[in-house]
Each structure stands twice: as structure tokens, then as C-alpha cells.
Amino acid sequence: MKSDFLCNRKGEPVFLCGLQCHNSSVGTEMMDRTIQAIRLYGGNLLEAPVYWCEIEKEQDVYDMSSVAELVDKAEAAGLYLLPLWFGASKNGLYTYAPDYIKTNPKVYKRARNSEGLPVESLSPHCPETRIRDQKAFVKVLEFLEAYDKKGTVIALQVENEMGLVHTDRDYSREARELFEKPVPENLRTVVLEDCGLSEEERKAGNENPTWHSLFGRWANEAFCAWGHASYVQELVKAGREKTALPFLMNVSIEINQFEEPAFCYVAGGPVSRVVEIWKRTAPGIRLFGPDIYLSAERDFRKACEAYSGKGFPLFIPESMHGGVGPAMNMLIAAADYEAIGFCCFGAESGIENGRLLPEAEHTALSMRILSSLSSLLVRYHGTGRIHAVTQAEFSPWQYVKTPDYHITAYFISSNENLQHYYGSRFNMNAPENRWMMEERGRCVIIDCGDGEFYAAGVGVCLSFLRRPEVQDPIPYAHVSSAVSGQLNFLSVEEGHFEGEKWVCEYKRNGDEANYLLYIHPGTVVRIRLNKEMAWKEEELC
């Protein structure tokens, strides 16, 4: 559904892809490198932090110059901006809080571990901290509403990978008193997977609804999640009075080794295990986006599955900026898990002297693939018509089945006998094009119905075969006929989209269309196949 997407000021849904700068780049010359990297990646979004400690160096004295500079740079570059509020919690740490917060722990209390020792996280149960964080947050929103005249800011991230480090919950006196109270009524029907309690035990637990009786082995994490979600809801409730911008949160995901809170990820954040608690406690948050730094497809898919289908669309605010694995996974997220956006972290690390570094070339190419199809990714979102083709290790081909066609994608790097002179307008054996033959094959195919397809990618060539009709009396004869293949085309074009308008740059025919259909980087291929087979039973011999 188009309503899943974040929208610009005109109300138009936007597929977001871009880069996030390094944590300390805002206000430095590094931001120019970030903008340059986004252009080279073909992205449309800048993610950049707003530092609490910089905008409020002294209590109640606010300086929004760094925020203004971010808006100006994004606007000048023609990019959307997603400001990241680095407030009380950045990866569970309080390092972005102002000095007056850090130097007064008696008022702005730190969380404590089970031994009573303070950890490097501020307690979510401390109202004094929340009031100060909330006030600064609202000041930023007030400024953006007044300053951002053109709608450059498309959403705002609240905190960053929020949670606690080195403890699974806050064991301070105030937190222990809250923990001993009954579980809030709106959470009593939440069931946490693998909590160790049977249905009967949970029913019995509702008679005395403690965190342990309802959430078993995840009692501490559930309580910690509720505490942080309650904190955040107060921020967004105050913020909603100032802006209509959607509020997002990014997540330090639990898909990491043995998946125990405070060991493998910060505790209390909106990880998939406890995200239902977050949804019920902080309904002002529109999206919970997993930060996925996983190269292996197996692990990446596990993370996508954990965060899709939870009542909100998949948006990945952070991933690796380079590497073959992330380049493949980006397409998988967009096609197989219907992601509405994908961003990579560490923009400045992907370029040197104005050029992409070799490891960044892979992910940049995949981002350009998604950008080139962005209007179609919005239009066909949720239809099941978007397909990712990614070359697994040792794989020479991949099969895609659509309602009307069999599609076989052949990977050039694994097929030495492909006719590299036919079906391509490039001499694929020329030295300058050898990289296309060696790149790990991948593409996105969008089935628009009625025999029309769009594809963008690299290292792939496609073969289409018409599937037999349901009542076809001789399906073998029809499938084996050349008329069932892509030779029965109406047109094959290369081009690009301007908004939703298709612009044809080059028409393929003859040798460039009569063989396997090569997908070249930097262009979109539009394939229109003729569905009229003209088979009639009375014509059969």
C-alpha cells in the first residue's frame, strides 16, 4: 500500500534510499563528503544527527545553527533530510547529553545494574532527565517547523538505538519500586515468544500480573522496554503539538549471536521480541527500523523476517556502506520484504578524492538500481510483483515464476558459454566492460502485468517463457515453441524514469533483442511481450 511509505510535503509517497554520515561529522567539512557520497550512490536521503550537547550547551540556552546548516545542505543538494535526535540515549550511552546532565547524577540519574553500580546509561525512569530531553527535542521541532520552508525534512528519528548497556534493566530504587507493581493493563495480553511460560501459566499469571508471571525469562527486558517506551511516548506526545512529521526509531537488533539483552544488544530497545510492548506504550512512533549490519543472506533474511509483518512496514535506517553481501541484501529487502527505504551508514568512508572506493562500488550500484526503479517500487508495493534476483555462491542461474511467465536469470560470471556479442549493445569482452562480467549478478524485476516488465541490475541476462494456459490441451507443444519465448516481443527499450514518466533512450531490436536480454548497469530495461499466442484448437494438426 502507498500509505506504508513516508510522504513528502506534497503528500507523495517516496521510496527513500541514502546514506548516514558518521556520528561526529555534522558541523565539519566531512558533511560535504557525505553529500558527495550520496550523489555517487544515487540516493535521495541524508541521515544526520542533531546533538543535544551542542544545541543546549548551557541549560535553557539553545543554538540551532547546526540544525539550520543541515537543512541548508540537504536542500541545496536536492535531498530529503532525516534528522537523528542524539539525546539521552545514543546506542544506550548518554555521551550526547549536555554537561549539566552528566555532572549532576543526583538529579539526572544513571541506570544501575543488579549490584547497584551505575552504568553508562541514563535511567528511563528519571522524570527530571526526561523533562530536559523532551524540552530540547521540542525546541528542535519548533525550529524545523519555522525554518524548513520547502519540506526538506521528511521524518525525525527519536533517540538512537535506545536502551541500556551492561544491564538488562535498571535496578535503582525507583526502578525496583516500579518493577514490583502490577504490569500495566494494556500489556497483559502481550505474549513474548520463547518466554518459557505455557498458556496455562500465563492465564494463572494474570491473577497476579507481575512481570515474571506474564513474561517469564524475558521479564526484565519487558519491563525495560516498557520504561523506555513510556519515556519516548512523552517526548513524541509533546512533539506532536509542534509538528506533523512522522517519528521513527532505529533499533539495535537482537539478531546477533546468542541474542541475550545487554550481551548482544542494548536492553530495552524496540527489538522484535518486545516491539509489541513498544507499540502499545508508544503509539506515537510510526516506524521501528532495524539497523542491520549482517552480510550473510541467512542472517539478513532472519532480521528482515523479524521486523516485517509487525504492523509497520520495513525501513532499514542503517546498514553497511560497502561489500558484496550488503549489495545483494539491499535488493532482497526491497523486493522480498517490501522495504519502504534502505540506508547505509558511514557515507564518508565510501569515497576518497571524490571517487567511490572499490568496496563501496557494490552497494552504490545496488542503491542506483533501486533509485532507478523507485517510482515502480512505490506503485507495485504490496502486490507481489517485485522480484529480486541475487547470485548465490556457485549459482549459474535463478528462476522467477510470475502468473504468466517463467523467467530464468542467467548470471554472466558463472556462464562462460553465454553469447556475449548477442543480446547486448556492448562488447562484453572488451577490457572496459569485463567488470560487468565479473560482478556478482543481481537485478530487480517488476512485473506490471499484461506481459510488461521492467528490470535493472548488473551481471544478469534474462529469458522469458510464456506459461501454458490453464485449459491448454497441448501445453508441451506451446511451451516448446519459439513463439512462447521472448522472440514474441512487442518492444525492448532502455531508458529511465522522470517521476512516473518512462523516457526511452534506446530501442533494442534484431541481435540486441532476439537473444538473452542483458541488463546493463545505469539503465532500466522495459520489456513488452506479446501475450496473444493465436493458438486455436481447430488449427491443430
pLDDT for the residue 484: 85
Is 202 a domain residue? no
Q: Are residues 400 and 344 in the same domain?
A: no
| pTM of the entire predicted model | 0.96
pLDDT band at 534 (very low <50, low <70, confident <90, very high): low
Helix residue ranges per DSSP H, 216-323? 219-240, 275-281, 297-307
pLDDT at residue 535, rounded to an integer: 56
- Given this model, what pLDDT does residue 433 score? 84
What percent of the chain is predicted at pLDDT more than 70? 98
Residue 10 has pLDDT above 90, yes or no: yes
Asked if residue 537 has pLDDT above 60, the reply is no
Q: Point out the domain boundary residue: 362, 382, 402.
A: 382
Query: Does residue 53 surpass a pLDDT of 60?
Result: yes
Q: With 70 as the cut, is the pLDDT of residue 541 above it?
A: no
Sign of CA dihedral 18, 22, 26, 31: negative
Residues 280 and 296 in one domain: yes
Average pLDDT of the residues in 465-478: 87
- pLDDT beyond 80 at 185: yes
Sheet architecture: strand order including 405-411: 397-401, 405-411, 460-466, 517-519
Tens of pLDDT, residues 122-132 = 999 999 999 99
Using an 8 Å Cβ cutoff, are 457 and 521 in contact? yes
Contact 318, 252 (CB under 8 A): no
416, part of any domain: yes
What digits encode the pLDDT tens for the residues 415-458? Answer: 877 776 677 777 877 888 888 888 999 999 999 999 999 999 99
pLDDT at 118: 98
Kindly state whether residue 193 falls inside one of the protein's structural domains.
no
Q: Yes or no: say if 40 and 364 are a contact pair by the CB < 8 Å rule.
A: yes
Residue 195 within a domain: no
Contacts of 417 (CB under 8 A, 6+ apart): none
The answer to whether 111 and 170 have CB atoms below 8 angstroms apart is: yes
- pLDDT, mean of residues 522-526: 95
423: alpha, beta or left, given left = phi > 0 and alpha = psi -120 to 50? left
Query: Is 436 found in the same domain as 304?
Result: no
Segment 215-230, tens digit of pLDDT: 999 999 999 999 999 9
In a domain? residue 175: no
The answer to whether residue 536 scores a pLDDT higher than 60 is no
Query: In the listed set 382, 416, 440, which residue is the last one of a domain according to the structure?
Result: 382
C-alpha cell at 424: 547486448
Q: Tell me how far CA of residue 235 lies from CA of 139, 222, 287, 355, in angstroms.
A: 11, 20, 15, 41
CATH of the domain at 402: 2.60.220
In the predicted structure, residue 375 carries a pLDDT above the cut 60: yes
Contact indicator for 523, 497 with CB cutoff of 8 Å:
no
SS3 451: coil
Taking only the tens place, the pLDDT of each residue in 394-420 is 999 999 999 999 999 999 999 877 776
Section 293-317 average pLDDT: 96
Cα Rg of the chain (Å, integer): 26
Q: At what angle do helices 219-240 and 127-147 cross, to 10 degrees?
A: 40
pLDDT band (50, 70, 90) for residue 533: low
In the predicted model, what is the mean pLDDT of residues 512-539? 82
* Residues 65-84 pLDDT 10s: 999 999 999 999 999 999 99
Question: Do 363 and 398 sit in the same domain of this protein?
Answer: no
Buried b vs exposed e over 224-241: b needs ≥16 C-beta within 10 Å? bbbbbbbbbbbbbebbee
- Both 531 and 423 in one domain: the answer is yes
Torsion of CA 19, 20, 24, 28, to 10 degrees: 40
Whether 525 and 397 share a structural domain: yes
The Cα–Cα gap between 73 and 427 comes to 41
Same domain, residue pair 477 and 429? yes
Residue 321 identity: H
Mean predicted confidence (pLDDT) in 191-205: 93
For residue 496, what is the DSSP state? E
Whether the pLDDT of residue 499 is over 90: the answer is: yes
Provide the pLDDT confidence category of residue 531 given band limits of 50, 70 and 90: confident
Residues 11, 28: one domain? yes
Domain's final residue, options 348, 382, 416: 382
Residue range 284-288: mean pLDDT, rounded: 98
Same domain, 527 and 508: yes
Whether 181 maps to a domain, the answer reads no
| Residue 374 confidence (pLDDT) above 60 | yes
* Same domain, residue pair 139 and 237: yes
518 and 372 assigned to the same domain: no
- Confidence at 482, pLDDT banded by 50, 70, 90: confident
Q: Does the pLDDT value for residue 206 go beyond 80?
A: yes
Contacts of 337 (CB under 8 A, 6+ apart): 304, 305, 308, 314
Element (H, E) at 444: strand 442-449
CA distance 13 to 1: 10
The pLDDT of residue 415 is: 85
Domain that holds residue 296: 2-109+126-169+225-382
For the chain, the average pLDDT equals 95
In a domain, 120, yes or no: no
pLDDT digits (tens, 9 = 90+) for 94-109: 999 999 999 999 999 9
- Domain assignment present for residue 485? The answer is yes
In this structure, are 347 and 375 located in the same domain?
A: yes
The owner of cell 517547523 is 145
503 C-beta neighbours (distance < 10 Å), count? 11
Q: What is the pLDDT of residue 368?
A: 98
Number of domains in the chain: 2
In CATH, what number is assigned to the domain containing residue 68?
Answer: 3.20.20.80
Q: For the segment 133-165, what is each residue's pLDDT rounded down to a tens digit?
A: 999 999 999 999 999 999 999 999 999 999 999
pLDDT at 69: 98
Burial category of 372 from C-beta neighbours within 10 Å (exposed 0-12, middle 13-18, buried 19 and up): buried
